[in-house]
């Protein structure tokens, strides 16, 4: 077989011993196909004895042609932020129900990966957000978000108040429980539950979605993916900025958040014939009737 990917990394859900059996089964299958298998160093801690090379995520740059992430969408979010700057394409295998990002099942993974090794797959480029927090003229936090960046309160008795500018133009001063800045990928996550629009992942746009705004006329807005979004904190108590639910940073009065499209993109691979609309129907139960 003329392989499209000669070295494949296998990455499992963090601190999940149950991932060992299916991951080692997949590793043996790939090795039989002539693929050089690499295992993520944190994943390897749960595998016991095995013959495969072990690398950290940071060591995979230039060493790996493809990464297979076994877990769920949350696992994929975390791995994608780390590997995107290395240009390593990602395939997701979901242990449970198929996700928006992890669309291979344990039952179908061998068949689908065999086709992918032959070059039969669909490639998607997904946006990342770069977020900088500036305090008194000094950058105090820098992070990436694949789904969304969220400014939110932790004290139920108070709202956040922030001023928002797009490319230097004043948009509004928002009073709300929170404000979501979402990629198209994140439009089916927290932004969707807050009333935001579903955005096809091929679109180069960013959505701003208020969470329980004080004024009902404050609605979600979609701006160009090349926009520079600035959020100035006018009122804070216990207010945080959160990135993909994986990390957060405490905000203070007059902190300025700068959000923009990151230079690197996440490369996702799907089986040939993949349809985003099919995924929407399945995940959002649009094909179900009462």
Q: Residue 36: which H helix or E strand, with range?
A: strand 36-40
Calpha distance 280→286 (Å, rounded): 7
In Å, what is the CA distance from 54 to each residue of 61, 252, 265? 13, 42, 25
Calpha distance 222→203 (Å, rounded): 11
121: nearest Cα among 245, 236, 252, 274 = 274
Burial of 96 (0-12, 13-18, 19+ CB in 10 A): exposed
Annotated active-site residue 73? The verdict is yes
Calpha distance 22→107 (Å, rounded): 10
Q: Give the up-direction half-sphere exposure of residue 71: CA atoms within 13 A in the CB hemisphere.
A: 21
The runs of H, that is alpha helices, within 134-231 are 190-193
Among residues 73, 103, 244, 255, which one is catalytic? 73
Q: Are 252 and 151 in contact (CB under 8 A)?
A: no
The token pair that represents 34 in the structure block: 């002539």
222: nearest Cα among 200, 207, 201 = 207
Cite the active site residues.
73
């Amino acid at each position: 077989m003329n392989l499209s990917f000669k070295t494949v990394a296998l990455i499992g859900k963090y601190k999940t011993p149950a991932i060992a059996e299916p991951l080692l089964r997949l590793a043996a299958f790939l090795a039989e196909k002539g693929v050089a298998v690499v295992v993520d160093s944190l994943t390897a801690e749960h595998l016991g004895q095995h013959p495969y090379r072990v690398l950290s995520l940071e060591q995979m740059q230039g060493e790996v042609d493809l990464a297979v992430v076994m877990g769920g969408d949350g696992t994929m979010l975390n791995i994608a932020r780390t590997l995107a700057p290395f240009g390593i394409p990602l395939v997701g295998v979901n242990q449970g129900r198929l996700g928006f990002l992890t669309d291979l099942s344990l039952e179908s993974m061998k068949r689908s990966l065999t086709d992918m090794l032959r070059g039969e797959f669909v490639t998607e480029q997904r946006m990342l957000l770069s977020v900088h927090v500036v305090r008194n003229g000094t950058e105090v936090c820098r992070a990436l978000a694949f789904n969304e960046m969220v400014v939110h309160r932790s004290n139920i008795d108070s709202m956040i108040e922030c001023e928002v500018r797009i490319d230097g133009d004043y948009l509004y001063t928002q009073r709300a429980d929170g404000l979501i800045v979402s990629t198209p990928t994140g439009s089916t996550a927290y932004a969707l539950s807050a009333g935001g629009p579903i955005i096809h992942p091929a679109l180069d746009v960013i959505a701003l979605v208020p969470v329980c705004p004080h004024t009902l006329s404050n609605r979600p807005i979609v701006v160009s993916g090349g926009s520079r979004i600035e959020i100035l904190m006018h009122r804070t108590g216990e207010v945080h900025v959160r990135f993909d639910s994986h990390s957060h940073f405490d905000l203070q009065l007059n902190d300025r958040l700068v959000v923009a499209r990151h230079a690197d993109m996440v490369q996702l691979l799907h089986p040939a014939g993949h349809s985003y609309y099919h995924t929407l129907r399945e995940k959002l139960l649009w094909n179900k009737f009462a």
